[in-house]
């Protein structure tokens, strides 16, 4: 394979960037377009709509120099410079300051260039352009300084670009399916345990069919239901602990060690940044959590909720709930619904949010009879099994992508003919 060095500037046909000042926004309305910021550019293929603001049509038409087009590549300029996302076929957003979108020249394959920009080698080059600066950035003027080794054969570019893109599309599809499955489970939870429209003995919605309600400290609840503390309905609540990091032999690749970053946007934790050795795990045997334990972050970033996919440990920022039989999905979705309450309880007027184990165990919840939980569990089990399988599939795809991409880009390996994701 033959390579030639180009600057990023050499590859670009068109730029779209902001004016370098704050864009006027309005309150959210269906008639307005979302304005995505740098937080919306994640490891996903497309931008995520996270805490977006909105702009009016007048702003859309007259304030911007231009707008991203399908197949453009969005690049973050400041904060986490060099992060990228692909502009989908349906462009229903605008980009804010501190990012730009670029169109690749037609004699280069855009998806291949996207793969090159996503590579660790390129990200390292971008980070090294401004080592030591207080706020890392990657301006348009830096594009001439970013040197990239580009394959000269266009067909090879297509093979690598399409292979990379298929992996990213598969991850995206799995992620969307996971989101839909969890939304379905959350909707069912709300209907049964918030609106109290679970099926009665005749299969009809309980409350709207005249089911008897009684007063409680959490408002009216169905007859024979109870208000109990979280500690009372759990087999146990365990606060994690970190083995000494000074002793390297405490860490290895045997027991997952869950920390808050591992929980973000993860129903199940199937991959962790750190793992303990058997020795490190043995230091705190009572902290070892079984599979299907509910982890809730209670310090620094309280309110995240995930489920263990195998035996794991956590650090001290996480309280773990060992659920009773038939309580796993009921308690998981209950904790998800109480995310804002957990944040409020953890504020306590201090700078660092902290909800200790005792306070956590006193969280009150409406607790149904066993038959209701068992029926709900039966409904949710296939949904959550599918979520777990898709999470594991994504983890395998990410490992495949990250192991193969550097070798494909360097020419160390080639894609076998007929190979598919």
Domain boundaries, the chain: 3-150, 153-205+376-421, 226-367
User: What's the rounded Cα separation, in Å, for the pair 305 and 310?
Assistant: 16
How far, CA to CA in Å, does 274 sit from each of 98, 177, 307, 316?
Answer: 32, 27, 17, 14
Looking at residue 419, its pLDDT comes to 56
User: What's the rounded Cα separation, in Å, for the pair 53 and 221?
Assistant: 38
pLDDT more than 70, % of the chain: 95
How far, CA to CA in Å, does 71 sit from each of 159, 171, 176, 210, 309?
Answer: 17, 18, 20, 55, 37
User: What's the rounded Cα separation, in Å, for the pair 71 and 102?
Assistant: 9
3-class SS string, the chain: CCEEEEEHHHHEEEEEECCCCCCCCECCCCCCEEEECHHHCCCCCCCCCCCCEEECHHHHHHCCCCCCCCCCEEEECECCCCCEEECCCCCCCEECCCEEEEEECCCCCHHHHHHHHHCHHHHHHHHHHCCCCCCCECCHHHHHHCEEEEECCHHHHHHHHHHHHHHHHHHHHHHHHHHHHHHHHHHHHHHHHCCCCCECCCCCECCCCCCCEECCCCCCEECCCEEEEHHHHEEEEEECCCCCCCCHHHEEEEEEEECHHHHCCCCEECCCCEEECHHHHHCCHHHCECCCCEEEECECCCCCEEEECCCEEECCCEEEEEECCCCHHHHHHHHHHCHHHHHHHHHCCCCCCECCHHHHHCCEEEECCHHHHHHHHHHHHHHHHHHHHHHHHHHHHHHHHHHHHHHHHHCCCCCCCCCCC
Joined tokens for residue 86? 């692909």
User: What's the rounded Cα separation, in Å, for the pair 46 and 62?
Assistant: 25
Superfamily of domain 226-367: DNA methylase specificity domains (3.90.220.20)
- Please, what is the end-to-end C-alpha distance for the chain in angstroms? 23
Looking at residue 123, its pLDDT comes to 93
- Entry pTM: 0.89
User: What's the rounded Cα separation, in Å, for the pair 305 and 265?
Assistant: 9
Q: Tell me which residue of 204, 209, 214, 320 sits closest to 259, measured CA to CA.
A: 320
User: What's the rounded Cα separation, in Å, for the pair 102 and 139?
Assistant: 13
- What residues in the chain have per-residue pLDDT under 50? 349
User: What's the rounded Cα separation, in Å, for the pair 123 and 39?
Assistant: 17
* CA torsion through residues 283, 285, 286, 289, sign: positive
The number of CA neighbours under 13 Å toward the Cβ of 258 is: 33
Looking at residue 349, its pLDDT comes to 46
* CA torsion through residues 143, 149, 155, 161, sign: negative
Provide the CATH topology of domain 3-150: Adenine-n6-DNA-methyltransferase TaqI; Chain A, domain 2 (3.90.220)
């Amino acid at each position: 394979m033959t390579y030639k060095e180009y600057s990023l500037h050499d590859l670009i046909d068109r730029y779209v960037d902001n004016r370098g000042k704050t864009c006027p926004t309005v309150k959210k309305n269906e008639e307005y377009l979302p304005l995505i910021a740098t937080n919306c550019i994640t490891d996903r293929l497309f931008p995520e709509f996270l805490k977006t603001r909105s702009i009016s049509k007048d702003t859309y038409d007259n304030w911007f120099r231009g707008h991203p087009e399908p197949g453009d590549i969005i690049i973050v300029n400041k904060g986490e410079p060099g992060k990228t996302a692909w502009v989908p076929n349906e462009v229903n957003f605008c980009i804010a300051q501190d990012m730009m979108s670029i169109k690749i020249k037609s004699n280069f394959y855009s998806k291949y260039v996207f793969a090159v920009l996503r590579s660790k080698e390129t990200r390292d080059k971008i980070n090294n352009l401004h080592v030591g600066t207080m706020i890392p950035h990657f301006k348009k003027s830096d594009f001439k300084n970013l040197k990239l080794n580009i394959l000269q054969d266009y067909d090879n570019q297509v093979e690598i670009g399409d292979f990379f893109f298929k992996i990213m599309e598969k991850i995206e599809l799995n992620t969307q399916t996971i989101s839909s499955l969890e939304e379905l489970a959350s909707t069912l939870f709300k209907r049964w345990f918030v609106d109290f429209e679970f099926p009665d003995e005749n299969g009809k919605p309980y409350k709207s069919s005249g089911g008897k309600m009684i007063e409680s400290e959490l408002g009216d609840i169905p007859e024979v239901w109870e208000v109990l503390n979280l500690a009372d309905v759990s087999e146990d609540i365990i606060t994690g602990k970190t083995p000494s990091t000074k002793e390297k032999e405490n860490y290895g690749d045997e027991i997952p060690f869950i920390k808050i970053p591992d929980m973000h946007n993860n129903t199940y934790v199937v991959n962790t940044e750190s793992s303990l050795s058997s020795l490190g795990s043995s230091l705190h045997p009572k902290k070892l959590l079984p599979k299907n334990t509910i982890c809730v972050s209670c310090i620094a970033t309280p309110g995240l909720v995930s489920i263990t996919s195998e035996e794991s440990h956590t650090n001290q920022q996480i309280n773990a709930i060992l659920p009773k039989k038939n309580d796993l999905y009921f308690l998981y979705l209950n904790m998800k619904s109480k995310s804002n309450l957990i944040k409020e309880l953890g504020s306590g007027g201090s700078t660092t949010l902290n909800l200790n184990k005792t306070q956590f165990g006193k969280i009150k919840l409406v607790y149904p009879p066993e038959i209701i939980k068992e029926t709900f569990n039966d409904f949710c089990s296939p949904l959550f099994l599918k979520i777990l399988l898709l999470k594991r599939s994504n983890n395998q795809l990410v490992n495949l992508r990250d192991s193969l991409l550097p070798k494909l880009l360097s020419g160390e390996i080639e894609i076998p003919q007929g190979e598919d994701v």
